[in-house]
């Protein structure tokens, strides 16, 4: 099927039937994954998906409908349904699709599609999963089993068209490995996980290394205990630091800033962190999982600094929220075919610092190195940050013993001020990345 022609036909029908503006957002995808347990295939799944969302504006009223049925009668019916819903909606003069000027010129992203991923046979995924499990169990006899271990890939295409001149197409791939081992000793069970997600097969970690790292992380938590409640330096490993960076992006949501429902709302242009702290959302990062020439409504993506050398540079917007705030869209509309656009991130990361992570640990006399966390994290309205945490206790610059069932608490603004070490080990385990990150002092609540 010629999907771009279908998207354009949807737009033409909507306009012919009275829409002032119309947009079609069409997705086609295929994914495959395998899980193994104890040397046997537990399940092998292959699925295809497709769908199209139709957004129309009629007399300042918004209508939206979607379908996964591409038969002509069904497509026509969903266009008509979007128009009906628009007529029943309340008018809002801010409703509208991105203009040609807002759409911009699609930038060059470099390759995002890997034919090797698209052609991955099931046998490769099965073998990779079995190798992860074997390598993980070989690390230590205390690895009792794997809660889950698997591999898979995804191939997807997007087509978008609108009355405002949008005619965009993108295709991409990604491949992944993950392992969740269970370590057992003295009646205690500990789990951990490790994973890798990449667009290109050649960039993916070796399955054996993923399995071994997951096992090492589980075994080192055996014998974990609580510590007394205290205020100490706290270090987040790169995966946990990436989660913290996600909280910062949540506080930089442009709609929340407009509504004054984020602690960042009045602070644009203010210094919030040391000069070695730069947090960026970059839709053009080479080979990034979140890289695309355009966002969920066809706007050209770009590199958008949130914090630059410690200073809050601005907020993230899609077209509608930018219009409300009298700002400019930052190309941060996220969506699937079955949803309206909302503010999201592309490739979000904290830029690497100059200091080796081992040095950041060595300088701590007593503190906590956090390797896993529970809970949502930050309240971006108040800035309160509180999460259950597991990790390793630091004594005299060395990782001394495992810690569990403690809570790490602080406030986002104070935490940003208290960053006193940014590691050189920037990692992406998905579309959000960070290096090791050290905070001068946080509350660790335990016994």
pLDDT reported for residue 375: 81
pLDDT reported for residue 119: 96
Distance from CA of residue 397 to its chain's centroid?
32
DSSP 278-327: -EEEETT-TT-TT--SB-TTSPBP-EEEEEETTEE---B--HHHHHHHT-
Dump pLDDT digits (tens) for 339-382.
999 999 999 999 999 999 999 999 999 999 999 999 877 999 99
pLDDT reported for residue 447: 87
Tell me the C-alpha distance between 244 and 242, whole Å: 5
CATH 3.30.2290.10 fits 3-219, yes or no: yes
Give the chain's residues under pLDDT 70. Answer: 1
CB of 300 closer than 8 Å to CB of 331: yes
pLDDT reported for residue 1: 63
Alpha carbon distances (Å) from 273 to 118, 197, 295: 43, 30, 29
Domain span(s) for CATH 3.30.2290.10 in the chain:
3-219
Q: Which residue has the tokens 């602080």?
A: 410
Q: Which residue has the tokens 């193994």?
A: 36
Backbone angles phi, psi at 141, to 5 degrees: -65, -15
pLDDT reported for residue 376: 76
Q: 124 is written with which tokens?
A: 């490769």
């Amino acid at each position: 099927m010629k999907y771009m022609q279908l998207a354009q036909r949807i737009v033409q029908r909507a306009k012919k039937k009275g829409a002032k503006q119309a947009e079609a957002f069409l997705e086609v995808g295929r994914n495959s994954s395998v899980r193994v347990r104890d040397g046997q295939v537990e399940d092998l799944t292959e699925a295809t998906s497709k769908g199209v969302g139709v957004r129309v504006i009629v007399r300042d009223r918004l209508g939206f409908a979607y379908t996964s049925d591409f038969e002509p009668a069904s497509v026509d019916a969903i266009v008509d349904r979007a128009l009906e819903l628009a007529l029943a909606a309340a008018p809002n003069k801010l409703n509208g699709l991105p203009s040609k000027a807002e759409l911009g010129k699609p930038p060059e992203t470099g390759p995002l599609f890997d034919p090797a991923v698209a052609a991955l046979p099931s046998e490769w995924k099965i073998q990779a999963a079995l190798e992860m499990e074997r390598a993980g169990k070989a690390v230590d006899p205390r690895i009792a089993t794997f809660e889950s271990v698997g591999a898979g890939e995804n191939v997807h295409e997007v087509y978008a068209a609108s009355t405002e001149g949008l005619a965009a197409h993108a295709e991409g791939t990604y491949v992944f490995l993950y392992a969740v081992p269970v370590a057992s000793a003295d009646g205690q069970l500990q789990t951990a996980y490790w994973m890798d997600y990449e667009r290109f097969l050649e960039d993916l970690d070796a399955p054996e290394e993923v399995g071994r790292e997951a096992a090492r992380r589980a075994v080192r938590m055996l014998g974990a205990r609580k510590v007394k409640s205290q205020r100490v330096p706290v270090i987040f490993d790169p995966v946990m630091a990436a989660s913290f960076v996600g909280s910062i992006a949540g506080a930089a949501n442009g709609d929340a800033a407009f509504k004054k429902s984020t602690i960042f709302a009045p602070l644009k242009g203010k210094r919030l962190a040391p000069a070695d702290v730069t947090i960026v959302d970059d839709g053009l990062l080479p080979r990034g999982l979140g890289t695309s020439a355009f966002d969920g409504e066809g706007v050209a993506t770009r590199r958008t600094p949130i914090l630059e050398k410690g200073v809050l540079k601005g907020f993230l917007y899609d077209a509608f929220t930018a219009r409300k705030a009298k700002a400019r869209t930052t190309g941060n509309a996220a969506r699937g075919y079955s949803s309206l656009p909302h503010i999201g991130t592309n490739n979000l990361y904290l830029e690497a610092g100059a200091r080796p992570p081992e040095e950041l640990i060595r300088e701590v006399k007593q503190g906590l190195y956090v390797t896993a966390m529970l809970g949502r994290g930050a309240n971006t309205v108040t800035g309160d940050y509180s999460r259950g945490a597991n990790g390793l206790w630091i004594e005299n610059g060395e990782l001394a013993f495992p810690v569990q069932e403690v809570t790490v608490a602080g406030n986002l603004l104070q935490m940003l001020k208290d960053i006193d070490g940014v590691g050189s080990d920037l990692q992406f385990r998905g579309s959000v990345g960070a290096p090791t990150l050290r905070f001068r002092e946080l509350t660790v609540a335990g016994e």
